[in-house]
């Protein structure tokens, strides 16, 4: 499994990829990749919280941490209470990205509209209340 720093770099790279896909009018891919931005950022935060360089990927911890569910990752990251106290715009952005799931990769082309993809991309990257930008404060 990637190290904490690798997870940070991957989150940044996935955001760049999502922006590239959006600019190429590939909206389904934009939203799909945005999910991994958030997942990797939360997992980097979990590494910090656990004071470990590597994300738990083996043994008994693997089943608890090898997840894609944002609510579970938020809990494991120790940020659940902080997000409840955050700016209302962050709550709105969180609600936009929370429906993400990895099986979105199987959705047919055209499932996500331009406006929806832009809304989700902005929910991830917006400063200062985009979800990715907010997680970066804690990782």
pLDDT for 130 equals: 97
Q: What is the dihedral of CA 96, 120, 18, 127, to 10 degrees?
A: -100
CB 134 within 8 A of CB 84: no
CATH number of 4-136: 1.20.120.330
CB-based contacts of 77, cutoff 8 Å, min separation 6 = 42, 45, 46, 49, 135, 138
Match 């997870």 to its residue by tokens.
7
Taken as a whole, the chain contains a residue count of 139
Question: What does the pLDDT read at residue 67?
Answer: 82
Domain ranges of the chain: 4-136
Q: Tokens 């979800």 belong to which residue? A: 131
Confidence at residue 20, expressed as pLDDT on a 0 to 100 scale: 98
- State phi, psi for 60 to the nearest 5 degrees: -65, -30
Residue 55 has a pLDDT of 76
pLDDT in tens, the chain (139 residues): 789 999 999 999 999 999 999 999 999 999 999 999 999 999 999 989 989 887 777 666 666 677 889 999 999 999 999 999 999 999 999 999 999 999 999 999 999 999 999 999 999 999 999 999 999 999 9
CA distance 68 to 43: 10
């Amino acid at each position: 499994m990637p190290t904490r720093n690798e997870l940070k770099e991957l989150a940044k790279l996935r955001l760049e990829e999502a922006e590239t896909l959006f600019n190429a009018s590939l909206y389904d891919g934009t939203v799909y990749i945005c999910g991994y931005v958030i997942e990797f950022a939360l997992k980097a935060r979990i590494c910090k919280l656990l004071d470990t360089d590597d994300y738990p990927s083996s043994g008994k911890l693997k089943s608890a941490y090898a997840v894609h569910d944002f609510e579970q990752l938020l809990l494991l990251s120790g940020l659940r209470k902080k997000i409840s106290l955050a700016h209302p715009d962050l709550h709105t952005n969180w609600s936009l990205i929370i429906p993400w799931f990895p099986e979105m990769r199987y959705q047919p082309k055209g499932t996500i509209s331009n406006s929806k993809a832009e809304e989700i991309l902005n929910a991830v990257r917006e400063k200062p209340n985009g979800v990715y930008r907010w997680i970066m404060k804690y990782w």
